[in-house]
Amino acid sequence: MAGGIKVYFPYPKKGERLNNGKIYNLDRENWREMVSSGIVLVDFYAEWCPPCLKIEPILEKIAKEYESKIKVCRFNVDEDDEIPRKYYVQILPTLFLFKDGEVVSGIEGMANPASIKKIIESIL
């Protein structure tokens, strides 16, 4: 605390879990490890993006509901642009569903819970 003002950063350091402990923070260093096996939902986002902030509670619920079946992760496009460029991310938020490292489905823009669950259920 500096000068009586508490500074709060809502996102933990790279590689740590976010929010409810069920969403993982991705970066270039942990990308391959996290996405290469199993089913992984990745949210490409930016902290300045209002729809990205709106989708966060939806992702928290999805992560909790599908906890034993998939990993839910977020990738901040402002911290690294190499991976978003590789997957042609142009709209925020963009959700991609990976299975064993390969993109199997995705949603660009603000998605509702039913749409996200539909793509997850299609691969389970």
Q: What is the mean pLDDT of each run of 10 residues along the chain (124 residues)?
A: 41 47 86 95 95 92 93 94 95 97 95 95 93
Other beta carbons within 10 angstroms of residue 62's beta carbon come to: 22
- Whether 52 sits among the annotated catalytic residues: the reply is yes
Angle of helix 50-65 relative to helix 113-123, nearest 10 degrees, comes to 50
Structural domains in the chain (count): 1
- Whether 73 sits among the annotated catalytic residues: the reply is no
In a domain, 67, yes or no: yes
| CATH for 61 | 3.40.30.10
Q: What is the domain extent for residue 36?
A: 17-123
**Catalytic option among 49, 83, 119, 123:** 49
Q: What pLDDT was estimated at residue 22?
A: 80
In a domain, 4, yes or no: no
pTM for this one? 0.83
In a domain, 36, yes or no: yes
Q: What pLDDT was estimated at residue 21?
A: 61
In a domain, 7, yes or no: no
Residue 20's nearest CA partner among 86, 88, 84, 66 is 66
In a domain, 107, yes or no: yes
**Catalytic option among 23, 40, 52, 89:** 52
